[in-house]
Amino acid sequence: MGYTDSFYERPADVVFEQYWCIRDQGREGCRDQNGDGVSGAEDEYRARISNWYAGKVDVTYGSVGLHAEDAIQVGRWQLNLGMRIDWDDYLGNLDVSPRISVLRDLFGDDRTTLIAGVNRYYGRSFFRYALNDAISGWRDSTQFNSDGSVRRVTNFGDRSGRSDLSTPYSDEWMLGWTQALGKVTAGLQFVNREGRDGVSRARLCLDPADSRCREYDYIYTNDGRSSTQSVGLSVTTSDPLRVGPTETTLALGLGYKDSTNNRQDDDGYDEQINVDLIYYDGQLTTVEDLPAWDYNVPFSTSLVARTIVPRWNVLWSNFLRLSRGGTIARDSGLDCDDDEVDYCEGSYDIYEDFDFDGLVTVDTRIEWGPEFMAEAGGYVRLEVKNLFDDTIDTNSSRLSDRRRITSGRLFWMEVGLHLPLP
């Protein structure tokens, strides 16, 4: 069970103004747009003004989850059957996700194991969506024509249609192998994951007869799709390294993944699905065939050290992660029918590759099990994610006015109980 009560405040109004060239898209810096022989402020006009208004709000979010599993052993075979049921008070959906895996002890010596499994995973936290809904009405936007007249005013109200949404989910199948090699255990795993029902924003034309859709509102759909194939290699020490009263185990992981996604970034609840053909890598293609539009890191390396101090019931875990920046395809701002473009024709947006920077992060976590809470499985946990506060820019759209960076330093404290069922 989970319950969150959050307070959000925007202490002052924020105003954003956007200026365009009066004649073209300004690829030469709005140079002498009005033909008077001088480049100046008169060559631009205010195209848009957006207001984000001050406000305060309290948002609550509740969720309930139930998980059950059983293992059946028959000779060298082991069948694991699991089921998870989730409900939250935001979407109001009851989600049932099965988990099934089969293990085979290949030679009967517990040294070589083959694993296969199929699973479904539902999205489990929609708190940020609930918060976005609560504050979405605190803004408006006005677009202007080049002569200063108002072209369109957009007022953003409470988000509608969300209660009819399905919960986003991923179906996966996996194949794995583990091998005991002296004092270490190696593992190799392949996972194929297909994401469905991702929440995305779609434009609803208020006048169906207007082919340009100049007056519109937004609705939310389950049109998001993604596909990911990943391979992971892990090496874990079988026997702990003992130094004084401590016992330490190490785990090294190497990973590669390849992803495609039809959303512009990971904030799918705020972005639109692009259904048009675009020009990329010398050909016309659909967005589903582009590299994933998130911080798509293909190569990753991790080192995990877990140190136990049995005398004090303390577990200290440290996680070092190295991610090689991936490549995405993003809008270049050019179209095939632009004068400076001679390699394609038609009114198609041109997309180009963009490389993200690499990132190194360190997480640390200390967990203590007090003696007076031992019977109830009680613990106190303090965690610091991204200990050194290293971040990189992950903006996946060069045309976006919103800056996105990876998560900075985060402190987390948790007190919990592990209560066994009778």
Mean pLDDT in consecutive groups of 10 residues from the start of the chain, 422 residues: 83 89 61 61 80 89 89 96 91 92 94 96 77 79 85 69 76 96 94 89 69 63 87 94 94 90 51 59 69 63 95 94 76 74 78 80 94 84 93 65 75 81 57
What does the domain layout of the chain look like in residue ranges? 171-416
The pLDDT value given to residue 193: 94
Predicted TM-score (pTM) of the model is 0.67
The pLDDT value given to residue 268: 40
Enter the DSSP assignment of 289.
G
The pLDDT value given to residue 199: 78
The pLDDT value given to residue 216: 60
The pLDDT value given to residue 131: 76
The pLDDT value given to residue 353: 80
The pLDDT value given to residue 386: 93
